[in-house]
């Protein structure tokens, strides 16, 4: 069975966190906002987590560090992190927006089980090549893409004894 999550590094280094904080600070200045301890706590918690997190999940994690941090602050901070490229939103079959950090991670894609919601990350340089080719064809300078494949995982197929799931 394939692993549920693939990361280039098992954890993020202190140096990488400092670099990400610098990127975030520059972005905050660009959009006219101030750096706050709450925003920094959210960023650190987010970067140290290896999961695809919903806003609710991140809020629960952050409250362990600082119980005063509200849901709205987490929501707005995640949007800011996405705005400067430190986070990206991923949509799975359940309709809940989830986020994953993008700092120092190579481009990857997701395969999602439509039965249980499990996801597998995979790497494919071919998808990146297709992105660039389509961009050239339509005279775009591409900056990113999102690619997900939906299907039924092996475990869910075993549960149905091989019956076709539609």
Residue-wise pLDDT for 54-87, tens only, equals: 999 999 999 999 999 999 999 999 999 989 988 8
Which residues constitute the domain of residue 92?
8-105
Tokens standing for 67? 């119980």
Q: Is the pTM of this model over 0.85?
A: no
pLDDT in tens, 111-148: 878 888 777 877 788 888 898 999 999 999 987 777 77
Q: Supply the pLDDT for residue 117.
A: 77
98 and 37 assigned to the same domain: yes
Q: Does a structural domain hold residue 86?
A: yes
Residue 93 forms part of a structural domain: yes
The reply to whether 2 falls in a domain is no
Give residue 89's pLDDT band: very low, low, confident or very high (50, 70, 90). confident
Q: Which residue has the higher pLDDT, 107 or 53?
A: 53
Q: How many domains does the chain have?
A: 2
Instruction: Look at residue 32 and tell me if it is in a domain.
Output: yes
Q: What is the pLDDT of residue 8?
A: 54
Same domain, 65 and 36: yes
**CA neighbor of 55 nearest in space, from 84, 87, 14, 15:** 87
Q: What is the CATH number of the domain that holds 117?
A: 3.30.1490.190
Residue pair 93/41 in contact (Cβ under 8 Å)? The answer is no
Q: How far apart are CA 36 and CA 16, in angstroms?
A: 19
Domain boundary among 105, 128, 153: 105
Is there a single domain that holds both residue 35 and residue 89?
Answer: yes
Contact residues for 153 (Cβ-Cβ < 8 A; gap 6+) = 113, 115, 116, 118, 120
């Amino acid at each position: 069975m394939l692993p549920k999550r693939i990361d280039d590094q098992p954890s993020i280094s202190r140096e990488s966190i400092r670099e990400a904080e610098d990127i975030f600070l520059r972005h905050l200045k660009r959009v006219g906002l101030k750096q706050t301890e709450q925003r920094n706590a959210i960023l650190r918690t987010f970067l140290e987590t290896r999961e695809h997190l919903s806003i609710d999940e991140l809020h629960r994690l952050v409250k362990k560090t600082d119980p005063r941090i509200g849901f709205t602050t987490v929501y707005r901070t995640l949007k800011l992190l996405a705005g400067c490229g430190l986070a990206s939103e991923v949509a799975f079959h359940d309709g809940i927006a989830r986020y994953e950090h993008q700092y120092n991670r190579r481009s990857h894609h997701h395969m999602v089980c439509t039965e249980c919601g499990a996801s597998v990350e995979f790497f494919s340089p071919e998808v990146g090549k297709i992105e660039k080719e389509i961009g050239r064809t339509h005279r775009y300078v591409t900056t990113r893409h999102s690619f997900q494949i939906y299907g039924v995982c092996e475990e869910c197929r075993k549960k149905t004894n091989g019956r076709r799931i539609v």
